[in-house]
Amino acid sequence: MQEWANQLCENRQFGSKMTDSKYFTTTKKGEIFELKAELNSDKKEKKKEAVKKVIASMTVGKDVSALFPDVVNCMQTDNLELKKLVYLYLMNYAKSQPDMAIMAVNTFVKDCEDLNPLIRALAVRTMGCIRVDKITEYLCEPLRKCLKDEDPYVRKTAAVCVAKLHDINAQLVEDQGFLDTLKDLISDSNPMVVANAVAALSEIAESHPNSNLLDLNPQTINKLLTALNECTEWGQIFILDCLANYSPRDDRESQSICERVTPRLSHANSAVVLSAVKVLMKFMEMLPKDLDYYGTLLKKLAPPLVTLLSAEPELQYVALRNINLIVQRRPEILKHEMKVFFVKYNDPIYVKLEKLDIMIRLASQANIAQVLAELKEYATEVDVDFVRKAVRAIGRCAIKVEQSAERCVSTLLDLIQTKVNYVVQEAIVVIKDIFRKYPNKYESVIATLCEHLESLDEPEARAAMIWIVGEYAERIDNADELLESFLEGFHDESTQVQLQLLTAIVKLFLKKPTETQELVQQVLSLATQDSDNPDLRDRGYIYWRLLSTDPVAAKEVVLAEKPLISEETDLIEPTLLEELICHIGTLASVYHKPPSAFVEGSRGVQHKRLTSSAGSGESVESPDTGSAAVSEAPPTVIPSQGDLLGDLLNLDLTPPTSTGPPPTTAPGMQLGAMDLLGGGLDSLIGDESEPPPIPLRTDTPQSPQPPHQSPSPPHYSPTELGGDIGGSPAMGTGFGAPPAAMPASFNAPISGGLDDLFDLGGGGGLTMGTYIPPKSVWLPAMKAKGLEISGTFVRRSGVIQMEMTLNNKAMSVMSDFAIQFNRNSFGLAPAGPLQILTPISPNQSIEAALPLSTVGPVMKMEPLNNLQVAVKNNIDVFYFSCQYPISMLFLEDGKMERQVFLATWKDIPNENESQFQIKDCHLNSDAASNKLQGSNIFTIAKRTVEGQDMLYQSMKLTNGIWVLAELRVQAGNPNYTISLKCRAPEVSQCVFQNYETVLKN
């Protein structure tokens, strides 16, 4: 048998040699006509040859659509090969010739009834690929039959066809009930049918994010797990990818699923392995960590991941990108496997770079010697990118593992001795970071660095070197000469270098004032007078003024102690990491971007998240699961950069000027000479001079450093450093905060409690506190790179306040908050800057109260009480909208005179009256009246008619609009009726809602 098959194949090969390839070479003119003739030939062989030629032309991109009728005519044939060729043609051109494509329908329908299951399947498969609306109608009946075909081969093909049809006409699929049939196929006896049905359903479900299409419950899961053992490798992938979307009910269920998935880790197909890893990584979150099984599972994960590295290089690349994520989420899995990530000489460059990344993540005190030895090897290789990355890696090791710092520095010095230009430059950039991390420890190397000054031609390296010279000017005898040498070509330097040079010379001047007066004059005039760059000019002016006004203060500012830099860099932001873990194996995990970033349309927009076991609160925890890699100090997360700087500079977040002059109260600063610059810059400086670094603060790259500091965060791309420095003066605008004047506004819960107490008493005559809605989440952390804002509105003794809780759920410190409102219906605007004095550490939350005024710009919003807010911090600007209760705007003097009330009531036309029902309210009229008064809704009169209490009430909005109300309360009837009259009837709806919330709370 076997031999026969081989022989057959060989014969075929022989026979076809020098035949088929010739179709690729015919390029003469008039070809179409010739083909037409051949297609209509009587001879079968000639016909077939002609169709082959057509397909070949199609492949190379020639337009052969003109032959459509002739090709379709060949469809009626017993020759399956010819039939398949015609189908191939049809799939390509049907769309451009929809009317003619109809001609083919009959054949399809006939073929769907054929005795041969292969032909039935072929017909239904092809029909699904002909994406013409008119054809889909004819497809429904054959498809329905095929979904219930006796032959599994036809059923599995039909299952995929449902997904095809859904892609063309989703409504049709739903109307025809195909989705239910597809769901039934999950219980099919044939594993491959199950797998294809799962794949089709998963795809359809993606475009209906909220449908319960893939109704995963323990029974279906069980069916899937059974099919998993029996179907093809591809089917196993579909099933595992689908399983990963399931959320087990409890830890026991997730353990039992894990147990049934782990055997897949030994599959020869890497995709099966990675998809199994995804399921395990996800379901592990549910397992309690003290469970024995949890430990067993962790151990089981390492070997298959390592094995992936012996696959083909392309697969290695995908595996490494995923391991990078896994290592960040659960460093313990691979902590002993450092050696397998050592780079091989013949690895493709993309594998090398990825391995290097993982090596640094796994570096710890235990293995640092080995790692360093390797990195030193790599630094002598050929590929420039790789060498640079290796040099950076040495620097990162120094910062990460303190014990190794000394060895790293000496390794870097060795590398500098090689005099390879890009190695030297890269080394200097990382040494600067090492200086930041270990101040006053390795300054002995400065002399060596200075020797290489001339060879530096990259801005980043030049800037780093200048920073070093400025920072350690007192120890470098010829610092002035060195800096002066840079000054000669000042205008040819990049902005990054110019800014750095300016700062360095000012530092030098403050350290050695006597010899460098001239130099500092020179640089200040270069920066302020001869430069077009506003950032540079601004920074120059600030220094100038500082120096001329108060050199002592200048010293304090410019030579202030710098915050330390953190040790982990390039970490993926935790919410993104969680999402990516749910996408292990997919493109998202390769790009390290959420699917929404590269997939268009509705697909992939859903954000997946890990679900952790109830009560363990693990997902909130940083991934510090007992590893040395992530220490207790929260690592800085560098968010994706994008055009952050642009955003910050364009969006003016200065608090409105109507709130009075910005506070200028920074300790140790006298800013007397500000009038020179006029009001605008005036406030800028005032705000800029924030209090000296607060201990809590760590250096995050986007934090607007006061311009005197030269920030050198441990990350490397020139755009980042540029953004950092360049952005600082402008970014600081308006974020300084007066340390005094913290309004005592945190008594909300207490007054709420009192409210309740009074409520119980049901007492009359007492004025009650304002109703304060509970805080709700306005800005979820997912949308704001880890910043969660929840809040509410309060009116207390005539002042409206926005009370917020800012919760930092990211891994980096957040600082420099500012807030601004969009124009809104009642002109609400912040009455002062947002007062958040200290940066918020990860997992910390801070309460803030923002007094509001009602004199801001007005624009009608829908709904009326909608408020759009922009909040900025050092990371980005975020937008959200919230709704305030309209009672915030009711004035304390809203009680109308009785007579006036009567007159006004009559005066307002009846069409302005609106009536509402308030249901299920169990207060008596007195209690209601009291409660409402707390919200500045005043009862003017009360009348009782036939056991029904009528309350006449008034309220006055901040913009002077009066609202009159008649509230009818019948004893024993929980439903109130309210009539509202107002000259501006638009507010009625809001007022009614407010009644409802106040009365029911």
Partner 1 sequence: MIGGLFIYNHKGEVLISRVYRDDIGRNAVDAFRVSVIHARHQVRSPVSNIARTSFFHVKRSNVWLAAATRQNVNACMVFEFLYKMCDVMTAYFGKISEENVKNNFVLIYELLDEILDFGYPQNSEPGALKTFITQQGVKSQSKEEQSQITSQVTGQIGWRREGIKYRRNELFLDVMESVNLLMSPQGQVLSAHVSGRVVMKSYLSGMPECKFGMNDKIVIDKQGKAGSNDDGAKSGKQSIAIDDCTFHQCVRLSKFDSERSISFIPPDGDYELMRYRTTKDIILPFRVIPLVREVGRTKLEVKVVIKSNFKASLLAQKIEVMIPTPLNTSGVQLICMKGKAKYKASENAIVWKVKRMAGMKESQISAEIELLPTNDKKKWARPPISMNFEVPFAPSGLKVRYLKVFEPKLNYSDHDVIKWVRYIGKSGIYETRC
Query: Looking only at residues 246 through 305 of this chain, which bind partner 1 when binding is defined by CB under 8 A?
Result: 260, 262-264, 266-271, 273-275, 303-304
Select the residue interacting with partner 1 from 110, 249, 289, 419 (CB under 8 A).
419
Main-chain phi, psi angles of 737, to 5 degrees: -135, 140
Q: How far is the CB of 285 from partner 1 (least distance, A)?
A: 21
Select the residue interacting with partner 1 from 29, 210, 217, 344 (CB under 8 A).
344
Q: d(Cα 265, Cα 622) in Å, to the nearest integer? A: 27
Select the residue interacting with partner 1 from 156, 389, 407, 895 (CB under 8 A).
156
232 CB neighbour count, 10 Å cutoff: 12
Are 347 and 355 in contact by the 8 Å Cβ rule? The answer is yes
Q: Which is nearer to partner 1, 13 or 171 (CB)?
A: 13
Are 324 and 361 in contact by the 8 Å Cβ rule? The answer is yes
Site for partner 1 in 707-726 (CB under 8 A): none
Q: How far is the CB of 137 from partner 1 (least distance, A)?
A: 19
Residue 685: beta bridge partners?
A: none
Hey, what amino acid is at 290?
A: D
Does the footprint of partner 1 cover residue 760 (CB under 8 A)? no
Q: How far is the CB of 448 from partner 1 (least distance, A)?
A: 17
Does the footprint of partner 1 cover residue 172 (CB under 8 A)? no
Q: Which is nearer to partner 1, 307 or 912 (CB)?
A: 307
Select the residue interacting with partner 1 from 39, 54, 237, 794 (CB under 8 A).
237
Does the footprint of partner 1 cover residue 607 (CB under 8 A)? no
Site for partner 1 in 101-120 (CB under 8 A): 115-118
Select the residue interacting with partner 1 from 345, 626, 652, 899 (CB under 8 A).
345
Does the footprint of partner 1 cover residue 230 (CB under 8 A)? yes
Are 175 and 137 in contact by the 8 Å Cβ rule? The answer is no
Select the residue interacting with partner 1 from 142, 191, 713, 722 (CB under 8 A).
191
Q: Which is nearer to partner 1, 156 or 708 (CB)?
A: 156
Considering only CA atoms, which of 568, 584, 579, 582 is closest in space to residue 324?
A: 584
270-284 vs 292-307: helix crossing angle, rounded to 10 = 150
Main-chain phi, psi angles of 244, to 5 degrees: -60, -20
Q: How far is the CB of 427 from partner 1 (least distance, A)?
A: 15
Q: How far is the CB of 132 from partner 1 (least distance, A)?
A: 12
- Tallying the residues shown for the chain, one arrives at 1001
In which element (H, E) is residue 969 found?
strand 962-970
Q: Which is nearer to partner 1, 52 or 183 (CB)?
A: 52
Q: Which is nearer to partner 1, 252 or 603 (CB)?
A: 603
Residues 546-585 as x/- pattern, contact with partner 1 by CB under 8 A: -------------------------------------x-x
Residue with the two structure tokens 């590398």:
415
Q: How far is the CB of 126 from partner 1 (least distance, A)?
A: 8
Q: How far is the CB of 607 from partner 1 (least distance, A)?
A: 12
Q: Which is nearer to partner 1, 59 or 219 (CB)?
A: 59
Q: d(Cα 241, Cα 247) in Å, to the nearest integer? A: 13
Q: Which one of the spans 188-196, 391-399, 618-626, 708-716 is the region binding partner 1 (CB under 8 A)?
A: 188-196
Taking CA atoms, 986 is separated from 234, 769, 872, 913, in Å, by 60, 27, 33, 11
Site for partner 1 in 9-68 (CB under 8 A): 9, 12-13, 15-21, 23-24, 52, 55-56, 59-61
Taking CA atoms, 345 is separated from 338, 381, 414, 451, 812, in Å, by 17, 9, 22, 33, 37
Does the footprint of partner 1 cover residue 588 (CB under 8 A)? yes
Residue with the two structure tokens 């010899």:
515
Are 599 and 663 in contact by the 8 Å Cβ rule? The answer is no
Q: Which is nearer to partner 1, 421 or 625 (CB)?
A: 421
Q: How far is the CB of 350 from partner 1 (least distance, A)?
A: 5
Q: Which one of the spans 291-299, 307-315, 832-840, 950-958 is the region binding partner 1 (CB under 8 A)?
A: 307-315
Select the residue interacting with partner 1 from 40, 73, 98, 151 (CB under 8 A).
151
Q: Which is nearer to partner 1, 8 or 560 (CB)?
A: 8
322 CB neighbour count, 10 Å cutoff: 25
Does the footprint of partner 1 cover residue 587 (CB under 8 A)? yes
967 CB neighbour count, 10 Å cutoff: 24
Does the footprint of partner 1 cover residue 222 (CB under 8 A)? no
Q: How far is the CB of 202 from partner 1 (least distance, A)?
A: 10
Select the residue interacting with partner 1 from 350, 438, 880, 905 (CB under 8 A).
350
Q: How far is the CB of 47 from partner 1 (least distance, A)?
A: 13
Does the footprint of partner 1 cover residue 8 (CB under 8 A)? yes
Q: How far is the CB of 680 from partner 1 (least distance, A)?
A: 43
* Ordered alpha helix ranges (H), 112-245: 117-129, 133-147, 152-168, 170-175, 178-185, 191-207, 218-230, 233-243
Select the residue interacting with partner 1 from 599, 799, 861, 950 (CB under 8 A).
599
Does the footprint of partner 1 cover residue 180 (CB under 8 A)? no
Q: d(Cα 465, Cα 352) in Å, to the nearest integer? A: 29
Residues 375-414 as x/- pattern, contact with partner 1 by CB under 8 A: --x--xxx--------------------------------
472 CB neighbour count, 10 Å cutoff: 18
Q: How far is the CB of 455 from partner 1 (least distance, A)?
A: 10
Q: What is the 3-state secondary structure (H, E, C) of 342-385?
A: CCCCCCCHHHHHHHHHHHHHHCCCCCHHHHHHHHHHHCCCCCHH
Taking CA atoms, 608 is separated from 257, 326, 611, 782, 784, in Å, by 19, 16, 9, 11, 16
Site for partner 1 in 69-88 (CB under 8 A): 79-82, 84-85, 87-88
Considering only CA atoms, which of 873, 551, 541 is closest in space to residue 707?
A: 541
The site that binds partner 1 (CB under 8 A) totals a number of residues, namely: 125
Residue with the two structure tokens 């400086």:
685
Are 239 and 231 in contact by the 8 Å Cβ rule? The answer is yes
Select the residue interacting with partner 1 from 31, 167, 174, 556 (CB under 8 A).
167
Hey, what amino acid is at 804?
A: M
Q: d(Cα 519, Cα 484) in Å, to the nearest integer? A: 7
Select the residue interacting with partner 1 from 106, 296, 310, 525 (CB under 8 A).
310
Select the residue interacting with partner 1 from 249, 339, 441, 898 (CB under 8 A).
339
Hey, what amino acid is at 109?
A: V
Taking CA atoms, 776 is separated from 5, 246, 536, 824, 879, in Å, by 71, 29, 43, 20, 16
> What is the DSSP annotation of 618-683?
TTTS-S-SS-SSS-SSPPPB----TTHHHHHHHS--PPPGGG-SPP---TT---GGGGGGHHHHHH
Measured in whole angstroms, the distance separating CA 471 from the mean position of its chain's CA atoms is 37
Q: How far is the CB of 158 from partner 1 (least distance, A)?
A: 11
Q: How far is the CB of 15 from partner 1 (least distance, A)?
A: 7
